Amino acid sequence: MSETTEQKPRKKLVAGNWKMNGSFDSNEALILGFLAEVDDQVDVSVFCPFPYLTQVAKLLEDQGVAYGAQDVSAKASGAYTGEVSVSMLNEFGVTQVLVGHSERRQYHAESSVAVAEKAVVAMAGGITPIVCVGETLAERQAGLVEAVIASQLDPVIERCSKFVGNGAWNLVIAYEPVWAIGTGVTASPEQAQEVHAMIRARLNAMLGSEVAQSTRILYGGSVKPGNASEIFAKVDIDGGLIGGAALSSDEFSGIIRAARG
């Protein structure tokens, strides 16, 4: 597609990261509480802890909501205690997976190369990786936002570029400034848009305009029903990755409504 071809608008995606929260009872109440808000105008997905995949799959059967895991191994099988492979996720009907969440980078020392390797195996297995990137407050204050995002993103783009052109490219990027995650402090819509535009420009430079224009870039970091509309209104923000507010069906519903516009 040339630069001048009209692009289809990107459909907004609201993705709920449950982190290490949930129980059979609370999962059911949460899902049943937001399903009424789901329609075909906004894509919605939830990322539950591994043990709940069967329950979540059953609750979401034919409901138009995708579900996924919060991590995946870059290895196919073998002696990797505690790891879960792409083929295992495939068996649970998983279509999306979070990769490189800042909590994985921070508490499990995941490097950007390790994150990129996970993204590649997910994509190769037909699962959409939602790759999380974002700077710490110290990095922002030191003027390093662009350098940090590039160092996190470039290994992913380089390794996944082989899927462009064969129909298998399905990357979603989540910009999540570390200082905004779970803190109640959100990036201003302008701060977020600035980084999203930079990410899209990077995709454009490395993979061309068709990929850049079709790839969804989510914002994550203390998104709530009260601030979601303003954030989602920005031209390069294609929805949100939601943590705390994804654990309340009322709040998650409010964010889905905001994404619908």
Burial class of residue 166 (count of CB atoms within 10 Å of its CB; 0-12, 13-18, 19+): exposed
Specify the residue for token string 């539950």: 48
Residue 248 makes contact with ligand PEP by CB under 6 A: no
Residue 221 makes contact with ligand PEP by CB under 6 A: yes
Say which amino acid occupies 202: R
Fill in the per-residue mask, 135 to 174: x = in contact with ligand PEP (CB under 6 A), - = not in contact: ----------------------------------------
Nearer to ligand PEP, 48 or 245 (CB): 245
Query: Residue 251 CB, nearest distance to ligand PEP (Å)?
Result: 10
Question: Footprint of ligand PEP on residues 171-190 (CB under 6 A)?
Answer: 176, 181-182
| Strand, helix or coil for residue 20 | coil
Nearer to ligand PEP, 100 or 125 (CB): 100
Specify the residue for token string 């790839």: 215
Task: State the catalytic residue, choosing from 37, 103, 117, 176.
Answer: 176
Can 6 be counted among the known catalytic residues? no
Number of helices and strands in the chain (H, E): 11, 8
Size of the site for ligand PEP (CB under 6 A): 13
Question: Footprint of ligand PEP on residues 12-41 (CB under 6 A)?
Answer: 17
What are the phi and psi torsion angles at 129 (to 5°)? -80, 130
Query: Residue 173 CB, nearest distance to ligand PEP (Å)?
Result: 13
Q: Give the residue closest to ligand PEP by C-beta.
A: 243
Only one of the segments 84-92, 163-171, 191-199, 243-251 lies at the binding site for ligand PEP (rule: CB under 6 A); that segment is 243-251
Can 251 be counted among the known catalytic residues? no
Nearer to ligand PEP, 104 or 207 (CB): 104
User: Tokens in use for 260?
Assistant: 């619908």
CA distance 204 to 139: 24
CA distances for 3 relative to 65, 105, 202, 209, angstroms? 33, 35, 15, 6
* 175 touches 152 (CB < 8 A): no
Task: State the catalytic residue, choosing from 101, 110, 196, 210.
Answer: 101
Nearer to ligand PEP, 44 or 212 (CB): 44
Nearer to ligand PEP, 213 or 222 (CB): 222
* 33 touches 2 (CB < 8 A): no
Note the maximum CA span of the chain. 51
Torsion of CA 11, 140, 96, 200, to 10 degrees: 40
Footprint of ligand PEP (CB under 6 A): 17, 176, 181-182, 220-223, 241-245
Active site residues: 101, 176
